[in-house]
Structure formats: C-alpha cells, structure tokens
Amino acid sequence: MLLKNLTLQNFRQYKGEQILQFSADSNTNVTVILGENTSGKTTLIQAFNWVLYGNAHFDTKDFLLNLEIANQLKRGETEYVKVAVELIHDDMEYIISREQLYDCVSYGEVKPRQSAVRIQYKSSDGQTGFIEENDVVDTINEILPEDLSSYFFFDGERIGNLGRNDKSGRQDIAQAVKGVLGLNVLDNAINHLAGGYKNSVIGKFKNSIDIVGNENLIRLKGELNAKREKLEGKKLSLEDVKKMIGYYTSEKERLEQVLKDNKETADLQGKIEVNEAEIRRLEKRISDIRKRLINDFSSKAPFYFMQPLVKNAAHLLNDTKEFDYGIPHMHSESIDFLIKRGRCVCGTEIITGNEAFHCLMDQKNYLPPQSIGTLVRFFINDAKHYQESSNETYETIEERYKDFRECVNKISELRSENAFISKEIQGKVDVGQTEQQVVQFKKKLEDAEDEKDSLVKEIGSLETECDHIDNQIRSLAFASEKNKHIQLCLEYADLITNTLKGFYAKKEQEIRIKLEQRVNEIFTKMYHGKRKIVINEKYQYAVETPNLTKEFQAMADKSTGLETITSFAFISGIVDLAREKISSEDLDIKSEPYPLVMDAPFSNADEKHVANVSHILPQVAEQVIMFVMHKDWMHASKVLDARLNKKYELIKKSETHTEIKECK
C-alpha cells in the first residue's frame, strides 16, 4: 500500500485546505515533516486515524473543527471538517475521505454531527466508482486492519500503549499480522471446513448422516455424545489438578530454598535432594521395567500357560490317527458329481440308499472341504511354534522381576534415609517447622500427581473410545446408500482440510521463524547490546537478555528507549516480511507492502540510536513518512538526506492555526 497524499480541511489547527504529498519513489522514499512540539505533528497522525477509522484522541475530545473557523460561525451556519487520503493498494487507487459537519446551534455553541466516510476507487484499467456504504468499513480494514494500524502509524508519544512490554500485557495481534501477511484466507477456509464439532462443513456432513430408521446409529451417536461430555469434564478436572500441582511445586521449592539457605541444614537438605533425584531416576527405571514386564506377560502368557494343555492335545491327536486318508486330488464335489450321474468311476451303479451310495457318502468325510488332515497338521505346527516361543518366557519375566524388586528396595532404603534426615532437620529449632511444611507439600504433590495420572489415563481411554465409536458410525453410515454420497463428501472434506492444514502449518512456522530472524537482524543493528527478541505462537514479543538475572531483566525493559527500539525492530520485521510474496504452485497468497508513518520516532532515544533508526527504516519500508522535531532532525538528516524527496515544515501561526509549508 502506498500513500500518495493527505488533504486536510479545517482539521484542528489546519485551517482551510492543506495538502501533503508523499514521496513514493523507490530510491527517495522518505518524506519528512518538521515541527516543534504543539505545532501539530501529532494532529497529522491523528488525521490518518480519523479518516480511516473515525478515531481521534485529543485532550479536547471530539472537537475537530478549526477553532478560528468555529468562532466565526454565526447561528445556523455550518462548516465541514474533512480529511482525505489518496493511496494505492492491490493495483487499485483509492481516495478515502471522511467529513463531519459542524453546526452552530446558537451563539458560541457549535455542535459536531455524525462523520461520514466514502471511498472512491479507480482500477488499473480506468474504471472508477464508489464503494458501497456497507462495504466501506470492511474495505478499509482490508487495506489496513485497525488492529494493526498502531504499528504503521507509529505515535512516538504514546509509548504507553505499545510500551506494555510484560508478556501478558501485549495486545494479541496474531490475527492482524496474519491478515497483513496473507494467511487469513487459509485460516478462514480451515475454520469453515473443520473449526467445530457442529459448526463446520465437516461437522454438518457428520451430522447429516442419516440416522432415522437406523437404531444402531442412533444408539452410537448417543454413546458418543455422552462420552464426549464426560471427556470434557475430565479435561477440566485435569486443568485444575495441574494448577494445584504448579502451586504445590512452587511452594515446596520456595521452602526448600529456605532450608538450603540456613547454614545448619544446608548439607542435610542437600543430601535429601540428591536422594530424591536418585529416587526419581529409579522410579523411571521401574516404570520402564514394569512396561516391559507387562508387555512380555501380555503377549506371552497364554502360550506359557497352555503348555500342559498342548501336551494333552498332542497326545489325543497322536492316539487317534485316522484323518486324511482320503483319495489324492479328489474333492467332495467329485463325489456329488458321481452320485448325481448315478455311476461310479469303477462303473458300479449308484442309487440313493444302496451300499455304493453309503460308501461314497462316507468317503466325503475324508475329502476337502470335510477332510481335516490339513487343519490338524497346521494345528500341530502352530503348537510347536508356540511351544518354542514360550521356552524362555518364565526366565525372562523372572529376570525383569528381580530387577524390579532391586529398584523398589533401593527406593525404600533411600526414602527411609530421607525420612530420618527430615526428622533431624525438624529437630533444629529455626527450621523445624519449615521442614514440616515441606513434608506436607510433598505429600500433597504426590497425591495430586496420582490424581493427574489417573485422569490422564481416563482421558486417553475415553478419547480412544470416542474415536472407535466415530469409526463405527462412519462404517455403519457408509452402508446405507443414502449416506454413501455424504460419506464421500466427508472424505473429500477431510482430504482438503488436511492439505490446507499441512500447508498452513508449514507456512506459518516459516513466517514466524523468518520474522524472528529478521527482527533480530534489525535489532542487533540498532541496538549494540547483547539482546534478543523472542516471538511466541501468539506473535507476542519479548526481549530476552541473556546473562542477566530475571530481576535485572524486568528493570532493563522499563527504559522506554529500549521499548522504542524493540517496537521498531518488530514493526520493521513485519513490514519487511510483508514485502515478500508468499506463494506456492497450487495456492496463491499475496502480501502487500506497507508504508511507515511515524510521529516523533526519536523522542525517546539517544543520538546513536537516532542515527541507527534513521539508517534502517528507509531500507525496510517502501515508504517512510516522519514527523520530526528540528533538534532530532539534525542527527537524522545526516543519514536520511540522500533518500529525501519531500520535506515540509509546520509553521505555527497561532495556537489555533498551523500552516504546512513545503521546503525546497
């Protein structure tokens, strides 16, 4: 998005109509507007905010009409406040204008009316028109989302908003960033396709699977809903337990630290902690051994226990060797054929009920499929095979069990030792009570961990059950003709969703990594200290200062100069990234470059930083518009003069009248 010009009419101290043209040349892309404080720099920034979003934050509230004009109004007369911004976005030229009528209702009383905003567009092929009223707000937000606006109109004096540098205080701009970087389309598609159990394309398909007249499906759906409810309940409980665990852990650690700090008990406490570490290691080992033992038992026990039975069965089969003495290559159907034709292979007549008939019928027992010789042979082979595999079963399990017991005993020993030491500590006058509290918290922690484990198990099995039922519903539903179509639609929807999700995840991570890299590149150029910015999945950022303790970090961040630099690095990172087109062969996502408009960007930084910031910014944004004080311009001009195209000065004629003058 490129800004072409800004027109003000009677907006605050800008009496009459005044125009600012912006440089948009790729080499000389800096526009500077000089002016002292109170000359109207801030007002110009607010003009952007007002024309685009209808926001204006001034000390004297909403009164935007130039005061000199206002005072000249006679009763019944009206005057307009108007701001218009002309810009180019996505190959389209827009003129966004907002005007507000001011009405002199009586002497000395001028009232503002509603403001109205309009957008005129001109496309690259010459077509012009006005955007429909209902679409105006959305169009503006598509050009520059309001959420993100404070990063492109950088109001240096309002560090307060952006300065909340504690991680929780930072505004969640993930959505806006995604918008600027173009991931919104994918995000919305994925949400629409699979965003909710019920409210999504997939949810609707699943729901529309015909259940009327199919009792099983109805029952299954009921089961599924009940289980899902239960699952949600368990998940909530798990969250609570986790919180308690967090609390108990931090209390325990705090108290343990007290014990460590106390000279008398430092060693004893140390020994307890060493033992606890060993206990933990052993417990993990026990858990491993247990798993293997149960795996062995689960899989091998049946064959191990069936050994005596197999022996008996083998005896039985051995003693009765009367199978499969059938005629080679002959099938029961061959006999049927002979009987039907009435004559045996040897020529004997076969009539139902005669001796030949009975003989043949009997013979059928020894031919496939009635002949069982093969089955029995397989059975014996299997028996041998199972017998072999169960040879070592007992020894293996015994080994593991021995291991297991060793660990259990060792843990028991260590625990006794710790209990003993704990009693000693409790005997010490100063810290006895603290140790008691530690013991209490340890117990509470143990109980809570147990509860957490059982909840996790329950949740796991409930989830598996839900999946199974879901699959059953799908396979049952597929059987009905009516549902085959829906089933197919579901499969396509799944395929599409997974494809999009995969792509989105990949892109998002790429972008986040790039962003973090880019930001840190800029950051180290601007700030010569050993600092780094970290960006989390919510696109919130924080400064990490290695080698300093946490306390110092909190202090260090409070200096507003650092906050400014941090914000710059971040904004510059986003702006820089927004320039790159993110695309792939099949899916096309575009990103727009954005300009940087800044009011007093140097007001809180020192001379070196002024130079650094000035150096970086024009390389990073396609267009830079700066409102600067004369004193700060002295330092910045050395770096920026070469890139300057337009320079203006704000001449303060009076408290209520400022003129914009172009400097040649």
Partner 1 sequence: MFDREYSFKGRHAVYVKNLVDDAELFNRNIDVYMLAPVVGFLYGRTADVDKTDNTTTKIFTDVFLKEQTKLVFIYRLLLLLDEKVEKVSAEQRIDRAFRTDNDQEAKEKNMVLFDSYVLGGIEYLHEQLFNNKLHDQEFIDGLFEFMYEFNEDLLSRTSEEDIYDILNNYK
Partner 2 sequence: MSSDLDHYKAKKMIKDILELEKNNLKTKKLNNDAMIDKIRKMIEAEVKKCY
Q: Which does 401 bind (CB under 5 to 8 A by kind): partner 1, partner 2, none?
A: partner 1
Question: Do the beta carbons of residue 323 and residue 376 sit within 8 Å?
Answer: yes
For position 200 contacting partner 2 by CB under 8 A, the verdict is yes
Residue of 19, 309, 495, 634 that binds partner 1 (CB under 8 A) = 309
Question: Do the beta carbons of residue 646 and residue 31 sit within 8 Å?
Answer: yes
DSSP labels, 219-245 = HHHHHHHHHHHHHHHHHHHHHHHHHHH
Residue 140's contacts (CB-CB under 8 Å, 6 or more residues apart) are: 52, 53, 96, 117, 119, 146
Under rule CB under 8 A, which residues in 484-503 are in contact with partner 2?
485, 487-489, 491-493, 495-496, 499-500
For position 457 contacting partner 1 by CB under 8 A, the verdict is yes
CA-nearest of 67, 23, 465 to 231 is 465
Q: Which residues of 282-314 are buried (b: 16+ CB within 10 A; e: fewer)?
A: beebbeebeeebeebeeebeebbeeeeebeeee
Strand, helix or coil for residue 19: strand
| Contact flags string 274-293 toward partner 1, x per CB under 8 A | ------------x---x--x
Only one of the segments 181-189, 233-241, 532-540, 652-660 lies at the binding site for partner 2 (rule: CB under 8 A); that segment is 181-189
CB of 354 to partner 1, least distance (A): 26
For position 445 contacting partner 1 by CB under 8 A, the verdict is no
What are 87's strand-pairing partners?
3, 94
CA-nearest of 621, 443, 494, 559 to 202 is 494
CB of 375 to partner 1, least distance (A): 5
For 198, which DSSP code?
S
For position 174 contacting partner 2 by CB under 8 A, the verdict is no
Under rule CB under 8 A, which residues in 90-149 are in contact with partner 2?
135, 138-139, 142
Q: Which does 492 bind (CB under 5 to 8 A by kind): partner 1, partner 2, none?
A: partner 2
User: How many angstroms separate the CA atoms of 161 and 206, rounded?
Assistant: 46
Residue of 28, 275, 348, 387 that binds partner 1 (CB under 8 A) = 387
Q: Which does 478 bind (CB under 5 to 8 A by kind): partner 1, partner 2, none?
A: partner 2
Under rule CB under 8 A, which residues in 539-598 are in contact with partner 2?
586-588
Binding-site size for partner 2 (CB under 8 A) equals 34
Strand, helix or coil for residue 433: helix
Only one of the segments 224-232, 304-312, 325-333, 503-511 lies at the binding site for partner 1 (rule: CB under 8 A); that segment is 304-312
Amino acid at 411: I
Q: Which does 408 bind (CB under 5 to 8 A by kind): partner 2, partner 1, none?
A: partner 1
Residue of 80, 394, 420, 552 that binds partner 1 (CB under 8 A) = 394
For position 332 contacting partner 1 by CB under 8 A, the verdict is no
Provide the token pair at 350.
Answer: 């076969």
For position 216 contacting partner 2 by CB under 8 A, the verdict is no
User: How many angstroms separate the CA atoms of 73 and 85, rounded?
Assistant: 27
Q: Which does 63 bind (CB under 5 to 8 A by kind): partner 1, partner 2, none?
A: none
User: How many angstroms separate the CA atoms of 120 and 218, rounded?
Assistant: 56
CB atoms within 10 A of CB 537: 9
CB of 90 to partner 2, least distance (A): 9
For position 91 contacting partner 1 by CB under 8 A, the verdict is no
| Contact flags string 340-369 toward partner 1, x per CB under 8 A | -----------------------------x
Q: Which residues of 485-517 are buried (b: 16+ CB within 10 A; e: fewer)?
A: ebbeebeebeebbeebeebbeebbeebeebbbe
Question: Starting from the edge strand earliest in sequence, which strands make up the sheet with 128-130, in order?
Answer: 14-21, 2-11, 78-89, 92-106, 109-123, 128-130
Question: Do the beta carbons of residue 216 and residue 476 sit within 8 Å?
Answer: yes
Only one of the segments 40-48, 192-200, 244-252, 267-275 lies at the binding site for partner 2 (rule: CB under 8 A); that segment is 192-200
Q: Which does 496 bind (CB under 5 to 8 A by kind): partner 2, partner 1, none?
A: partner 2
DSSP labels, 63-123 = --B-HHHHHHPPTT-EEEEEEEEEEEETTEEEEEEEEEEEEEEETTEEEEEEEEEEEEEEE
Kindly tell me which of 229 and 253 has the beta carbon lying closer to partner 1. 229
User: How many angstroms separate the CA atoms of 114 and 102, rounded?
Assistant: 9
Interface contacts to partner 2, rule CB under 8 A = 135, 138-139, 142, 184-186, 188-189, 191-193, 199-201, 204-205, 474-475, 478, 485, 487-489, 491-493, 495-496, 499-500, 586-588
Interface contacts to partner 1, rule CB under 8 A = 286, 290, 293-295, 297-299, 301-302, 304-321, 323, 369-370, 372, 375-376, 379-380, 382-384, 386-387, 394, 397-398, 401, 404, 408, 457, 461, 468
